[in-house]
Amino acid sequence: MTGQRIADSALRGMRRGERTNRRALIFDILMYGAIALALVSLLALIIQTVVKGAPDLSLQFFLNFPSRINPANSGAQSAIVGTLYLMLLTAVFVIPVGIATALYLEEYADKTRWWNRMIEVNIQNLAAVPSVVYGILGLAFIVRGPLGLGPVLLAGGLTLGLLVLPVVIIVARESIRAVPPSIREGALALGATKWQMVSRQVLPGARAGMVTGIILSLSRAIGETAPLLVIGAASSPRFNPSGLGDAFTALPIQIFSWTQDPNPVFVNQAATASIVLLGILLAMNGVAIVMRNRYEQRW
């Protein structure tokens, strides 16, 4: 009787083992299936863009302006130049403001004060605001209203700058926090003032993380379409902006307006412009990685 019971329970144990194995197998299949699905789709996205866009990718595409009359000789010079200018403007605005805010919050702010806590919560919330809402802000506040700049390059750069500012602040704070307190204490003990300590020890120590984070934020900025659409970037202009007060376009806007075109030649050129945009983003990511390796500090 007891022997029978032992045998039964052993058998049950084995069955349970089998069931666990089967469950593990099912889970493995699900897991690898899901990953494969996601990877294959994302791969399809990139391959499809390259296949459609590559035939038009030539030096002409970089040098010519968009043309309705002569679609075969159409290019994206104004959009490429516009994107590079936008990147520069955004950087000029966001780097000093972002780093200064991060330094204030990490090195100077007294966390027990309500206004400093409010600034922190505010930045977290700003990071979650959809980009199209920044477009509305740009339209109502920068293009029209108080600043009234019109839909010009400077307005685009400021709008994108405000959009990525919270992200820049967050990454800058993280890299400042990574500098160990002993470095600060050492500097202060040697008689440095607070600003000497911050500017000569903390900032250089946090350089690697900051540079990488800022480059990645800028690459996010130049990929944005919605805010530029809303503030009224020009579509397919045949000129480059020559100053801050000129009308402009950017690669995402050019891609969008070609996508909307009934002529299939232009729809394919949207893919060509996408390749150029992806190329710029990849290059920026590459630079970010090089910078990280070059300036990385081990404490």
177 versus 220: smaller Cβ distance to another protein:
220
Given candidates 145, 186, 204, 279, which one binds another protein under the rule CB under 8 A?
145
Distance CA 68, CA 74 (A): 8
Residue 254 CA to residue 287 CA, distance in Å, equals: 25
Among 179, 187, 4, residue whose Cα is nearest residue 103? 179
CA distances from 249 to 130, 258, 278 (A): 21, 13, 17
Footprint of another protein on residues 242-281 (CB under 8 A)? 252, 255-256, 259-260, 267, 270-271, 274, 277-278, 281
3-state SS class at 75: coil
Of the candidates 232, 100, 223, 111, the one whose C-alpha atom is nearest the C-alpha of residue 168 is 100
User: Which CB, 21 or 73, lies closer to another protein?
Assistant: 21
The piece of 2-10, 68-76, 123-131, 200-208 that touches another protein (CB under 8 A) is 123-131
Q: Looking at 188, 229, 244, 287, which residue binds another protein (CB under 8 A)?
A: 229
Shortest Cβ 218–another protein spacing (Å):
11
Nearer to another protein, 148 or 180 (CB): 148
Pick the stretch among 4-12, 165-173, 177-185, 201-209 that binds another protein (CB under 8 A).
Answer: 165-173
Quote the CA–CA distance of 274 and 251 in Å, as a whole number: 8
Angle, vertex CA 70, rays to CA 57 and CA 62, nearest 5: 30
CB of 105 to another protein, least distance (A): 6
Distance CA 162, CA 159 (A): 5
Among residues 76, 143, 203, 210, the one that binds another protein under rule CB under 8 A: 143
Q: Which stretch binds another protein (CB under 8 A): 54-62, 73-81, 174-182, 226-234?
A: 226-234
Window 19-48: contact mask with another protein (x via CB under 8 A) = -x--xx--x--xxx-xx-xx--xx-xx--x
Residue 194 binds another protein (CB under 8 A): yes
Among 14, 88, 92, 129, binds another protein (CB under 8 A): 129
The amino acid occupying position 269 is Q
- Under the binding rule (CB under 8 A), the answer on residue 55 touching another protein is no
Using alpha carbons, select from 243, 282, 286, 277 the residue that is nearest to residue 61. Answer: 277
Q: Is 197 in the site for another protein (CB under 8 A)?
A: no
Q: Minimum distance from CB of 3 to another protein (Å)?
A: 25
Q: How far is CA 37 from CA 42, 61, 75, 277, in A?
A: 9, 34, 35, 25
Binding mask 94-113 for another protein (x = CB under 8 A): --xx--xx-xxx--xx----
Rounded distance, CA 81 to CA 64, Å?
12
Kindly list the distances between the CA atom of residue 55 and the CA atoms of 8, 72, 143, 281, in Å, as whole numbers in the listed order: 70, 11, 38, 21
